[in-house]
Amino acid sequence: MGQYVAPLRDMQFVLHELLHVEDELKQLPAHAEMDADTINQVLEEGGKFSAEVLFPLNHSGDREGCHYDKETKTVTTPKGFKEAYKQFVEGGWPALACDPTYGGQGLPLIVNNSFYEMINSANQAWSMYPGLGHGAYECLHAHGTEEQKQVYLTKLGWRDWLDHRRAKQRLERDVRLHERRTFGRWYAIGRFDRSRLPKCLGLRERSFANA
C-alpha cells in the first residue's frame, strides 16, 4: 500500500521564507500574536492526521463505497470514515480558522488552507464531508444577524451539523423572511449585519495532540 507524506518543508518554505507570513500577520490585530512555531506545530499535527488517519481510508473508500438503505433511508459510509470524523472534531480541526466569538480558534485562514491542502491530498473523498460546511459558515458569518450567528455558527464551525440540508431547513424554519413579488420572481428580504474581525486569537491554547 502507498503512503502519504505531508509536504511540510515545502509549506514552511512558502509561508516563512517566501511570504514571510509571521511578519505579515503581526500587522493584523486578530493575528498579531501568531508566530512561526505555532504555525509549524499545527501543520505538523495536521500532517500526522492526514497521513496516519485519512490516507489509509482510501482502501475502504474505494472497495466499499457508501451504501444507501432504501428501507431506513440511511447512508452508511465506508469503514473508518465515521471514526476519522470523530477524531477530526475532537482534535479541534473544523474550527481552526473560525471566529473565536462563536467558539472558533481564530487561526489565520492561510493556516487552515494549508491544513486542507493536506487532507485533500491524503483523502479527497473523505475531505468532502467536512468541506461542505465552509460556504454555509462564511455566508452566515458575513451576512447573518447576531441571533443567527449565536444559534448556528458554533454548530457549523465544529461541524456538529454535517447534514447541511437539515441545517438549512432549521434556518429557514426559525428565521422570518419577508417575501415580495417583483416582475414574476420571488425575492427574500432579510436583515443582515456585517461581520467583525475577531479581537484576539481566542482559543489558541487548544491542544492539537489528539488530532
Residue 165's DSSP bridge partners are: none
Average pLDDT over residues 83-106: 89
pLDDT higher for 152 or 191?
152
Average pLDDT over residues 59-65: 92
Find, among 69, 61, 63, the residue nearest to 85 by Cα.
Answer: 61
Supply the Cα-derived Rg of the chain in whole angstroms.
Answer: 19
* 96 close to 111: Cβ distance less than 8 angstroms: yes
Residue 59's DSSP bridge partners are: none
Query: pLDDT at position 202, please?
Result: 31
Task: Measure the CA–CA gap between 167 and 140, rounded to whole angstroms.
Answer: 12
Task: Measure the CA–CA gap between 102 and 89, rounded to whole angstroms.
Answer: 16
Query: pLDDT at position 90, please?
Result: 86
Give the confidence band of 2 by pLDDT, cuts at 50, 70, 90. confident
Give the confidence band of 139 by pLDDT, cuts at 50, 70, 90. confident
In the predicted structure, residue 144 carries a pLDDT above the cut 60: yes
Q: Which of these ranges, 17-31, 54-68, 126-140, 146-160, has the smallest mean pLDDT?
A: 146-160
Give the confidence band of 190 by pLDDT, cuts at 50, 70, 90. very low
Cα 40 from chain centre: 19
Burial group, residue 199, by CB count within 10 angstroms (0-12, 13-18, 19+)? exposed
* 158 close to 94: Cβ distance less than 8 angstroms: yes
Find, among 208, 211, 88, the residue nearest to 160 by Cα.
Answer: 88
Query: pLDDT at position 112, please?
Result: 94
Give the confidence band of 160 by pLDDT, cuts at 50, 70, 90. low
Q: ∠ CA(39), CA(44), CA(47), 5° rounding?
A: 125
Average pLDDT over residues 87-108: 88
